[in-house]
Amino acid sequence: MESTTFIAIFATIVTASTPLLFAAIGELVVEKSGVLNLGVEGMMLVGAVSAFAVSTGTGSPYLGIVAAIGAGGVMALLFGILTLTLLANQVATGLALTLFGVGLSALIGQGYVGTPATGLAGIQIPWLSDIPVLGGLLFQYDIMVYMSLALTAAVSWFLFRTRPGLILRAVGESHDSAHAIGYGVIPIRYMAVIFGGMTSGLAGAYLTLAYTPLWTENMTAGRGWIALALVVFSTWKPGRLLFGAYLFGAVTIGQLHIQGLGVAIPSQFLSMLPYLATVIVLVLISRDQLRIRLNAPACLGKVFHPSA
């Protein structure tokens, strides 16, 4: 394989993996706090259409990114009010949030279908981008790719190297004990939930501003559900999450290249490969119940009330 072909394939894998990484790393923080938010897909769609609308209206993709972060945060705040304050069922509320996001994004975006967007351009880093092969592999991407990697490293450091991260994990492991020693379980979970919404908004923004600079309904195509599966796949560890996101990105791009080579396999089967891989991975992981119990936050999905 020629180096230019390899670089091109690697670059497409990176861009396909970035929205998964944004969405999954935020959900990992949410679940570490003991909250299960299944509304990632809906938050991604609202973030995507918000980024596209603002970027198209202002001509600035960076304002679009800010709008996506805000839109995802608002959606997550709605989820938090319903589940953390009003004590609604987290699973049902997350599913409702996804359905709401699908409908709301379609409503907002109906006037933007077919409209070209002001996309993010790749960053050329002096000296580094000119390195043969390595420069093309590592130093040709837009700013959001580097943001996703920096965010993953920051989350890992926060969770396992800082006192606030320890407190957040303690809330996820035993909210009653954390409350008993004086920590505000509800405020901590609110902050985690809103952070997860903001990163889901970023994931959506990447789809409309970098991956495919246009808007179409349901353009996330199930990526929010894959991000949820990645959190379990990674056993709630950021390093494994990074590997998993790029692995699933490679599967997504691999099926496109297989179709391009004209392999005699039905295109419908190839298109379902990323989702088939998700199901297979979840089945394999679910067989090891001990590992799940050891790594999953003990209070994940459980309702907490300070007066209980």
Residue 259 and residue 267 in contact, taking contact as beta carbons nearer than 8 Å? yes
Write down the pLDDT at residue 133.
76
- Residue 305's pLDDT is what? 84
98 alpha carbon, distance to own chain's centre = 14
pLDDT given for residue 109 in this prediction: 94
Give 131's contacts (C-beta < 8 A, 6+ positions apart).
139
Residues spanned by the domain of 76: 3-295
Report DSSP letters for 180-191, one per residue: HTT--HHHHHHH
- The CATH number of the domain holding residue 127 is 1.10.3470.10
Distance CA 19, CA 251 (A): 14
Does some domain include residue 302?
no
Q: Does residue 305 lie within any of the structural domains?
A: no
* Domain annotation covers residue 126: yes
**How far, in Å, CA of 99 to CA of 197, rounded?**
15
Residue 300 lies in a domain: no
Q: Does 183 map to a domain? A: yes
Long-range (24+ apart) CB contacts under 8 A made by 127-135 are 133/3, 133/7
Q: How far apart are CA 112 and CA 216, in angstroms?
A: 8
pLDDT at residue 290, as a whole number: 67
In a domain, 30, yes or no: yes
Q: Is residue 303 part of a domain?
A: no
Specify the DSSP class assigned to residue 41.
H
For the chain, the domain total comes to 1
For the beta carbon of residue 67, count every other beta carbon within 10 angstroms. 23
Average confidence (pLDDT) per 10 residues, the chain, 308 residues: 76 93 98 97 97 93 96 98 96 97 96 84 78 80 95 97 97 95 96 98 96 92 92 92 91 73 67 76 70 82 82
Q: Which of 20, 78, 84, 7 minimizes the C-alpha distance to 252?
A: 20
Would 169 be classed as within a structural domain? yes
